[in-house]
Structure 1
Amino acid sequence: MHNFFGHEYDPFPFLPYSLYHFFMIFVLIIGSVLIFYFRDFLRKHDKTARIIMFVSLFLFEALYHIWLYKDGYWDISFTLPLQLCSLSLILCLLLLFTQSKLIFQIVFFIGISGAFMAILTPELFLGFPHFRYFQFFITHILIIWTCLYFLFIHQLAPTRRGVLYSFLFLNLSAICAYIANKITNGNYMFLASKPTNGSLLDYFGPFPFYIFALEVSALIMFFLLFLICDKVLMKLIQK
């Protein structure tokens, strides 16, 4: 149990694209398919399903901060909710509680794109069976599942205006992250430097050019998500 909650990397190193990494990608895909397949059942038990997702997201995020704090590792330079997925997690909690259409439009694009990239190229140093391994993947998967839940069960449709709202929110968040980086010497939203683990940012050039490439990539991903939903998923849902 001590090792499960420990802070030593050597006993449980995370290996990208290992069996345990692909397993979580598999869980993401299978869970997404099941949400779609059982959408009628989930619609009948909507309140219960939303409570379960809300509690799960909140609990795993709270445990993460407790885990850091209890051993003196909590630090303002990286624990503020200014990473894209941290912001998405908060928006997901608000969405599950309020069922706001505006929040859905924002979190659908930034949540799915950000969490999906985090799952594919995780900034993670502790692997299976460490607590951080489960916490990282479960929270990111739940962000995507929450977005898909409101797409499949509540039939909220992403819109072109939602793309613009999301892009505006992304840039406003980046301004806040930039200011926080200057104050805390942090690297929120990877605006100060690239992730130490390999990521797509490695192909976007040196600092600061990769930031502009990231902006363009985000906008492209948002539009691709919109097109996939508009041309494919919404038609499947309505059948």
Structure 2
Amino acid sequence: MSSPFLSYTINGEPFHLFSVSHLIALAAMFGAAILLYVFRGKIRKRSVEPWIRYLLAGVLLFTEVAFQLWHVLTGSWLSAETLPLQLCSVSLLLSVVMLCTNSYRLYEITYFAGLGGAGQAMITPELFYPFPHFRFFHFFVAHACIILACLYMTWVMQYRPSVRSLWKTMGFLNLLLVIALTVNRVTGGNYLFVSHKPSNPSLLDFLGPYPWYILSLEAVAILLFHVLYLPFTLHKSTESSVSLHENR
């Protein structure tokens, strides 16, 4: 008898949005983020700092390897579905390299693409497997660690994105979109959801019919990226106000 952890389904039960297991996964991610923020200064000053980065990178890489291996073992590996060309898969791989190399150039893209994509995925997952299926754990661990990787570089390593970083990310995503469209035509897949909307409820349901939702999604991405940049804008404004007050 096969293990439900590795089997293709669990008693035919689907994943339910905002179920108890979903809410617990979200709470665990927020809890980890809070701990990271609280101890950011201590981590930065300790010799253990690089090892925490490497550990986070290792967990991310392990989730991708395990994901590919699971598809192979279950006979479900398909070029139309399993290539690492979804936004979060690309962000995951960029996060691994970013963490291992301390790359600011990758941080510029991963901050916006990773937080925006993984954050939306955590809230409205395109997931068909409930707890305790392997895919449930894989999905939430991978996406939570993408978010934590971005926050780690921001809070612990004190990296900061710029407005230019925002537009660099938009350029990167449009290049990725062209690649995804090409691969979709060859494989029949739906990478980046640019061929049709996902089956599960998502933000795309509110953005119009195909293909117009792609243009709407571009506008939403720009708006979301500005929201993600807002804390840095507010911080700069606060610093400017304090500096002006001190110079009077």
Q: Give me the TM-score of the superposition, normalised by structure 2.
A: 0.91
Structure 1 residue 228, shift from structure 2 partner: 2.1
Partner residue in 2 for 1:98: 101
Counterpart amino acid of residue 94 in structure 1: V
Give me the whole-angstrom Cα distance separating, in 2, the residues matched to 1:76 and 1:23: 32
- Report whether the alignment pairs 1:40 with 2:41: yes
1:74-127: CA deviation from partner (whole Å, max 9, x where unpaired): 110011111000000010001011111110000000000000011111000001
Partner residue in 2 for 1:59: 62
Give me the whole-angstrom Cα distance separating, in 2, the residues matched to 1:146 and 1:190: 24
Structure 1 residue 11, shift from structure 2 partner: 4.5
SS of 1:126's equivalent in the other structure is: coil
Give me the whole-angstrom Cα distance separating, in 1, the residues matched to 2:122 and 2:237: 25
Counterpart amino acid of residue 63 in structure 1: A
Give me the whole-angstrom Cα distance separating, in 1, the residues matched to 2:200 and 2:231: 29
Structure 1 residue 171, shift from structure 2 partner: 0.4
Give me the whole-angstrom Cα distance separating, in 2, the residues matched to 1:234 and 1:137: 35
Counterpart amino acid of residue 168 in structure 1: G
Structure 1 residue 33, shift from structure 2 partner: 1.1
How many residues get paired?
236
Structure 2 runs not aligned, ≥5 long: 240-248
Contact 1:4–1:130, Cα closer than 8 Å, also in 2: yes
Give me the whole-angstrom Cα distance separating, in 1, the residues matched to 2:206 and 2:105: 33
Give me the whole-angstrom Cα distance separating, in 1, the residues matched to 2:17 and 2:65: 25
Partner residue in 2 for 1:16: 17
Matches within 5 A, 1:43-192: 43=44, 44=46, 45-192=48-195
Contact 1:20–1:128, Cα closer than 8 Å, also in 2: yes
1:155-184: CA deviation from partner (whole Å, max 9, x where unpaired): 001110100110001100000000000000
Relative to 1, partners in 2 of residues 1:225 and 1:4: Cα closer, same or farther, differing over 3 Å?
same
1:46-96: CA deviation from partner (whole Å, max 9, x where unpaired): 111011101111111101110001121011001111100000001000101
Q: Give me the TM-score of the superposition, normalised by structure 1.
A: 0.95
Structure 1 runs not aligned, ≥5 long: none
Counterpart amino acid of residue 39 in structure 1: R
1:165-206: CA deviation from partner (whole Å, max 9, x where unpaired): 100011000000000000000000000110100001101111
Please list every run of at least 4 consecutive aligned residues from structure 1 whose deviation after the TM superposition is greater than 3 angstroms: 9-12, 232-236
SS of 2:81's equivalent in the other structure is: helix
Relative to 1, partners in 2 of residues 1:24 and 1:229: Cα closer, same or farther, differing over 3 Å?
farther
Partner residue in 2 for 1:5: 6
Give me the whole-angstrom Cα distance separating, in 1, the residues matched to 2:237 and 2:35: 16
- Tell which structure's C-alpha radius of gyration is larger: 2
Contact 2:4–2:10, Cα closer than 8 Å, also in 1: no
Give me the whole-angstrom Cα distance separating, in 2, the residues matched to 1:117 and 1:149: 19
Partner residue in 2 for 1:26: 27
